[in-house]
Amino acid sequence: MVEVSTRLLGARTRVRRRGGWILGLVTALLLFPSGAGAEQPTAVPCTPQQPCFGMAFTGSPFSPAADHDRSFNAKDNLVPRTLVINRGQSVTYHVNGVHWPAVYQTGIDDEDLNTTAVPAPGCPSGTRVNDPTGRLFQTTNCVPNGTLVTVPASVFTTPGRYLVICQIHPHFVNGMYGWIQVQ
């Protein structure tokens, strides 16, 4: 009888211990909703009104190539991926990180471009893509973090879908492109 009581007491203690552990975890999750929360941006929104060309403020600081992290793709994105504008409107991108924007005429897809790496001294990786066919707009070189790049309304003469790319070679081949849909 005494033995049974002791066993019951032991089981109850174990339950209470496990309950405490779970309660602690729940509390930690409430206090710190995501592990890297403190490193994520709160002051740089990417919206249709202020689209981002690059997301340098996100992802992990270590080399993705070395450590199999996906930060490379997280940082080198256009957000939003597709912008919808009306004819007669320009588009101003907020450049986060070092990038090289270019815009192509309607009817050209990302797979259509010549992705041969050509030298680009002074730019990340030192290489770029440089396909002039159908290219309507590009900056004269890679542009530094924090630059505002405006694609003038005169680029968007006809309704349709315009390909927007980063010409830094590894950025483009890893998917740094998006679209401007002109209505």
Binding site for Cu ion (CB under 5 A): 99, 166, 168, 171, 176
92: number of Cβ within 10 Å: 13
Comparing CB distances to Cu ion, the nearer of 164 and 166 is 166
The smaller minimum CB distance to Cu ion, of residues 38 and 65, is found at: 65
Q: Give 33 or 121: the residue with its C-beta nearer to Cu ion.
A: 121
CB of 49 to Cu ion, least distance (A): 22
Q: Radius of gyration of the chain from Cα atoms?
A: 25
Give the separation between CA 32 and CA 82, rounded to whole angstroms: 32
Least distance to Cu ion, CB of residue 40, Å? 20
Q: Which two tokens stand for residue 65?
A: 């190539």
The C-alpha atoms of residue 177 and residue 171 are separated, in whole angstroms, by 9
- Nearest approach, Cβ of residue 59 and Cu ion (Å): 13
Strands (E), 114-168: 118-119, 127-128, 135-138, 148-151, 160-166
Shortest distance, position 43 Cβ to Cu ion, whole Å = 21
Q: Which is nearer to Cu ion, 20 or 119 (CB)?
A: 119
Contact 97, 86 (CB under 8 A): no
